């Protein structure tokens, strides 16, 4: 997460503070309960779902703000300004806590009004309705792919599907066969959508849905369905003829393929993996895919080399950094360092080299903030220090720079090299201090 500028922080905190003080912005459950005649269990269940949705978003916001506060991810020209921002952040966090406590009390009131038996029956009816709505939207998506409907139409369908998937993450605790079947159909159709449509907004909704299906294991308890699709697509060599299974998945005739669209699809699926790095709290989805593919790191490493498209190489490098950090030391730092060294030696693309430098910088900064950098093996730290010092003085081969953008990549490499050297030196000093006798 990048630090927030002072004006952005000021605007955001003011907006949040005013919103949390405004009771009209949140449903007042006692008023809803008072108007019921005892025969509106379905309405109460819908209200409960909306309450869960708002609470989940508030919890996410609380986590983001706490991360900003604890790690000092905001700018301030002077210490007093930084202290004032920290105080205002704490005020908003307190208001968030109060709102979350109130929403819990309101849900308890709802469940008490419904009664245990009626609450279970209403929840079952709600899940059945959710499944039927997902099936209807799958039919719409299937028709859209067959008829090449406009991106605007497909985006509208995906907005509704995204809302249903978010609701499923809140209400579906045990995935029944009907919902699992429709989830697998959702996966298949969304992969087709990502191939056939190049629209950022549309892709964002599709990636969001796929990320939720994976994180909540709606497709399979071991993510076998989504994981196999991901692996099959990412392993497909660029510009090679597509196997029959992939053509069927994408709805393509035997003689038709588009290398540019397939590279675009790979990029979108890398975004799905990236979302699991960021949001899958228990890390089970990544472990499932890692096991299914016999090593996700090796799969991503293969994407960092030609003949993959430059954009795919850069995206895969970025994802490797996030995967290594989120995988709790399942990938040795030495393997990442050697991959970056290979990129510097063999890649002709300045952007890829800058991405490699960024990967090492991100991993080093994260491990340093977690106070685990100094616990790594000396051989890995020594190798990392060697490449960081080389990056500090990096210059592209003479005659290879033709654009100002390449010069910018060169500066990025040097900056990351300096940052890594500083982090390693600070980490070494901290180790020496910790070993001094008291």
d(CA 130, CA 247): 30
How distant, in Å, are the alpha carbons of 67, 142, 162, 169, 213 from that of 202?
Answer: 29, 15, 11, 21, 17
Residue 8: predicted pLDDT: 78
d(CA 418, CA 415): 5
Q: What are phi and psi of 39, to 5 degrees?
A: -120, 25
| CB count in 10 Å sphere of residue 150 | 11
**CB-based contacts of 169, cutoff 8 Å, min separation 6:** 56, 212, 215, 216
Residue 366: predicted pLDDT: 86
d(CA 113, CA 109): 6
Residue 234: predicted pLDDT: 97
Phi-psi region of 399 (alpha: psi -120 to 50; beta: other; left: phi over 0): left
Residue 164: predicted pLDDT: 96
Residue 64: predicted pLDDT: 83
Helix axes 333-346, 350-369, angle to 10 degrees: 160
User: Of 102, 101, 187, nearest to 141 (Cα)?
Assistant: 187
- Which positions of the chain have pLDDT values less than 50? 1, 431-438
d(CA 411, CA 401): 12
d(CA 289, CA 278): 15
107 half-sphere exposure, CB direction, 13 A CA radius:
15
Q: What are phi and psi of 402, to 5 degrees?
A: -130, -15
Residue 66: predicted pLDDT: 85
Residue with tokens 């968030």: 96
How distant, in Å, are the alpha carbons of 204, 323, 389 from that of 410?
Answer: 31, 25, 14
d(CA 43, CA 172): 18
Length of the chain: 438
d(CA 236, CA 229): 11
d(CA 205, CA 164): 12
User: Of 285, 357, 348, 269, nearest to 318 (Cα)?
Assistant: 357
Residue 298: predicted pLDDT: 95
Residue 436: predicted pLDDT: 39
Is residue 4 helix, strand or coil? strand
Contact 306, 343 (CB under 8 A): no
Residue 433: predicted pLDDT: 39
Residue 100: predicted pLDDT: 86
Residue 36: predicted pLDDT: 53
Torsion angle of C-alpha atoms 168, 173, 177, 178, degrees rounded to 10: -30
Contact 142, 133 (CB under 8 A): no
Terminus-to-terminus CA distance in the chain, angstroms?
Answer: 37
16 half-sphere exposure, CB direction, 13 A CA radius:
23
Contact 324, 362 (CB under 8 A): no
Report CA Rg, the chain: 25
pTM of the model: 0.86
Q: In the chain, what are the domain boundaries?
A: 6-114, 332-438
CATH topology of domain 6-114: Methane Monooxygenase Hydroxylase; Chain G, domain 1 (1.20.58)
């Amino acid at each position: 997460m990048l630090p927030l500028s002072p004006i952005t922080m000021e605007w955001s905190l003011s907006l949040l503070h005013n919103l949390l003080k405004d009771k009209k912005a949140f449903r007042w459950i006692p008023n809803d309960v008072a108007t019921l005649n005892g025969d509106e269990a379905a309405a109460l269940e819908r209200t409960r779902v909306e309450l869960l949705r708002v609470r989940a978003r508030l919890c996410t916001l609380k986590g983001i703000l706490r991360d900003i506060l604890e790690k000092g991810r905001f700018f301030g020209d002077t210490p007093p300004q930084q202290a004032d921002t920290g105080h205002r952040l704490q005020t908003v966090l307190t208001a968030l806590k109060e709102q979350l406590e109130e929403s819990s009390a309101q849900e308890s009131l709802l469940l008490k009004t419904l009664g245990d038996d009626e609450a279970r029956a209403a929840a079952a009816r709600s899940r059945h309705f959710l499944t039927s709505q997902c099936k209807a939207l799958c039919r719409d998506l299937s028709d859209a792919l067959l008829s090449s409907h406009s991106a605007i139409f497909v985006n509208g369908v995906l907005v509704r599907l995204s809302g249903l998937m978010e609701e499923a993450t809140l209400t579906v605790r045990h995935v029944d066969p009907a919902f699992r079947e429709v989830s697998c159909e959702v996966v298949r159709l969304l992969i087709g959508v990502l191939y056939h449509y190049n629209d950022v907004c549309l892709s964002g909704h599709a990636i969001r849905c796929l990320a939720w299906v994976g994180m909540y294991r709606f497709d399979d308890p071991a993510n076998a369905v989504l994981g196999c699709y991901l692996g099959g697509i990412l392993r497909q060599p660029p510009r090679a003829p597509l196997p029959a299974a992939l053509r069927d998945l994408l709805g393509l005739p035997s003689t038709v393929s588009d290398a540019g669209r397939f590279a675009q699809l790979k990029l979108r699926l890398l975004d799905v993996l990236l979302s699991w790095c960021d949001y899958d709290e228990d890390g089970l989805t990544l472990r499932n895919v890692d096991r299914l593919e016999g090593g996700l790191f090796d799969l991503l490493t293969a994407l960092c080399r030609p003949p993959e498209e430059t954009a795919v190489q850069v995206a895969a490098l970025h994802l490797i950094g996030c995967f290594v950090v989120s995988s709790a030391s399942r990938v040795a730092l030495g393997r990442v360092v050697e991959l970056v060294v290979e990129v510097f030696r063999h890649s002709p693309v300045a952007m890829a080299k800058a991405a490699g430098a960024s990967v090492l910088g991100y991993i080093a900064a994260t491990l340093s903030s977690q106070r685990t950098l100094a616990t790594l093996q000396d051989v890995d730290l020594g190798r990392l220090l060697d490449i960081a010092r080389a990056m500090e003085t990096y210059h592209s081969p003479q005659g290879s720079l033709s654009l100002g953008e390449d010069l910018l990549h060169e500066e990025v490499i040097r900056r990351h090299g300096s940052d890594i050297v500083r982090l390693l030196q600070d980490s070494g000093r901290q180790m020496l201090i910790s070993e001094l006798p008291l």
